[in-house]
Amino acid sequence: MIIKGKKNRYLRSQAATMKPAIQVGRDGISENLLNQLELLINKDEIIKVSLLQNTMVEPQDLIDALNEFDEQIVHVQTIGSKLVFYKKAPKIKNRKYSIELENM
């Protein structure tokens, strides 16, 4: 799934003021990291991930790993070592951004 245009701009603007929810360090991409990312994104819909200096993980590696793990997770933006991801929340009570996206 690819989000373009106004929807992508909206998600980027919402993520601009967020602090990274998870930091990827020297342990790299593990099953535990992917599970934590999935829990957070199912709850918040948008998450920001920071790659620390001591990690050997490249941004594209994390994007590819998340796409393999869950195809519904969409990469929204990468700026330096910060990545933003979006996924529509499975529970209706957690849908905050997806309702706005549907109205666009």
Please tell me the distance from the alpha carbon of residue 61 to that of residue 99, in angstroms, as a whole number: 30
- Residues 38-97: tens digit of each pLDDT: 999 989 889 999 999 988 889 999 999 988 988 889 999 999 899 999 998 888 888 888
Which pLDDT score, from 0 to 100, does residue 48 have?
94
- Collect all residues with Cβ–Cβ distance below 8 Å to 30 and sequence separation of at least 6: none
pTM: 0.88
- Tell me, what CATH number does 67's domain have? 3.30.110.60
pLDDT-based confidence at residue 1 (cuts at 50, 70, 90): low
Q: Are 29 and 104 contacting, i.e. CB atoms less than 8 angstroms apart?
A: no
Which pLDDT score, from 0 to 100, does residue 98 have?
82
- State how many domains the chain has: 1
In a domain, 102, yes or no: no
In a domain, 13, yes or no: yes
Is the predicted pLDDT of residue 16 greater than 80, yes or no? yes
In a domain, 16, yes or no: yes
Residue 84, beta-bridge partner list: 48, 77
Q: Which domain holds residue 29?
A: 3-97
Which pLDDT score, from 0 to 100, does residue 49 have?
93
Please tell me the distance from the alpha carbon of residue 6 to that of residue 63, in angstroms, as a whole number: 22
pLDDT-based confidence at residue 3 (cuts at 50, 70, 90): confident
Instruction: Tell me the two tokens of residue 86.
Output: 């979006």
